[in-house]
Amino acid sequence: MISAVHSDRSGRVVVAADWGAAAFDGNATGPLHEAMPLPAQAMIVPLPGREAEGLDRQGHVRRLGPSRFAVAAVLPPGSLRLALPAYADTPRDEPLVPRAYAAIGADEHGELVVAATALADHAPTAAPSDLAARVNATLRARAANRELRQLARCARDYACRAAANAFVGRGDCALPVGAPPNERPAGFLALRDDRDAAPTEPAAFHPSAEEIAEVATTHLAAGGTLVAFGRACEGEPLLAAREIEDAIRRIRARDARATIHLETNGSFPVALRRLRAAGVDSIAIRLASARSDTYEALHRPEGYRFSDVRSSLAEAATWNVALSLVVLTLPGLTDRPRELEALVAVAGDIPSGNVLVLRDLAADPRRALALIAGDAPLGMGIALQRLRTDAAHLTIAATPRPLARV
């Protein structure tokens, strides 16, 4: 049996061997039964003020007690959560900080397990121990570059992996442009990649196209694999299409074989077309639902509609680019039958050989689920199997896979 796990008033994580572990599937609380060992890079986070729930000896769901607080895991890339933590929640409680919370428990040996499954072998690379020294040395040599100064702040102050890569010459390098958002989700929901830290305020800088191109080409020359617009906490890059278009043309003029990646919500097909013409060769379009009403309730789009997103996907499907459909998943929502049907239909319009990226949606899960009424969920394990069967022409992965250069 998987045992319940909770924290005490001092914040210690405690295994309650006399209680069975419970999980919330988005509709009801029951036993935590689909679990894997907790990945080494996962974080255990407390759920402030939420009393933990577990299963008593008769298998009934009970509160563990007023001083036993719920905890959850936030998973690293490569894993997909299957169930949510079980806890008592009331409308009077302050919303949880939006994170991708997953249910956890402990196995018969006392080792922590999580309600998740592995999508791919993807071990995040830790920042080098001398990152601060590398950042300082780079800034001394190129202090005038505003793009570098912003990346340094993101790497040092917010531990952003994609920003840190700019100073170590590896992997993907984020290229922020200070693009504004055109989605206004509820405060308990974040439409971003939960593996990267994010500033609490929007970026207030405007790098030139030349500054962006300099950072990009230097990163690639040092051994980086690609440069990316629209990563992490950046707003919608299609709203800064003119500046990005100029930067892309400069990058292409210096490195015709560079992999230039764009992550977008696909809100403006015309702008997307311009960036493709400039030289983008890898595109990821992100959504939290493939149903119009659910999409608009979660994303709260400004200046565009879900039909624009579908138009962008349809057009990108005709181009010779690496195309990824990035789905932000939430147990209890993504695995509803109608949501799943719509997702399979959208995935069917994407050409074979591309990627269906599944990421965990960062949210206060109970409040996010309350935004959309719907049918009972099937379970994330069933949903994943359905996608592997009915969208078998796509590779299911945890991250986009840009074109390989030969």
Q: Taking the domains of the chain in order of start, what are their residue ranges?
A: 3-118, 131-397
Residue range 58-84: mean pLDDT, rounded = 95
Residue 250 predicted with pLDDT over 90? yes
| Matching residue, tokens 């990346």 | 151
Q: Which of 121-135, 222-236, 280-294 has the highest mean pLDDT?
A: 280-294
Q: Write down the mean pLDDT value for the chain.
A: 92
C-alpha distances out from residue 239 to 109, 182, 243, 265, Å: 52, 8, 9, 11
User: Is residue 199 predicted with pLDDT exceeding 90?
Assistant: no
Alpha-carbon span 340 to 331, nearest angstrom: 12
What is residue 181's predicted lDDT score, i.e. its pLDDT?
93
Q: 121 pLDDT exceeds 70? A: no
Hey, what amino acid is at 7?
A: S
CATH of 131-397, one of 3.40.50.2300, 3.20.20.70, 3.40.640.10, 3.60.70.12: 3.20.20.70
pLDDT tens for residues 383-395?
999 999 999 999 9
Question: Would you say the C-alpha torsion 367, 361, 331, 58 has a positive or negative sign?
Answer: negative
pTM for this prediction:
0.93
Contact partners, residue 41, CB within 8 Å, separation at least 6: 76, 123, 124
- What local confidence, expressed as pLDDT, does residue 406 receive? 39
Average pLDDT over residues 359-366: 96
C-alpha–C-alpha distance, residues 339 and 341, integer Å: 6
DSSP per residue over 222-264, as a string? TT--EEEES-TT---GGGGHHHHHHHHHHHHHH-TT--EEEEE
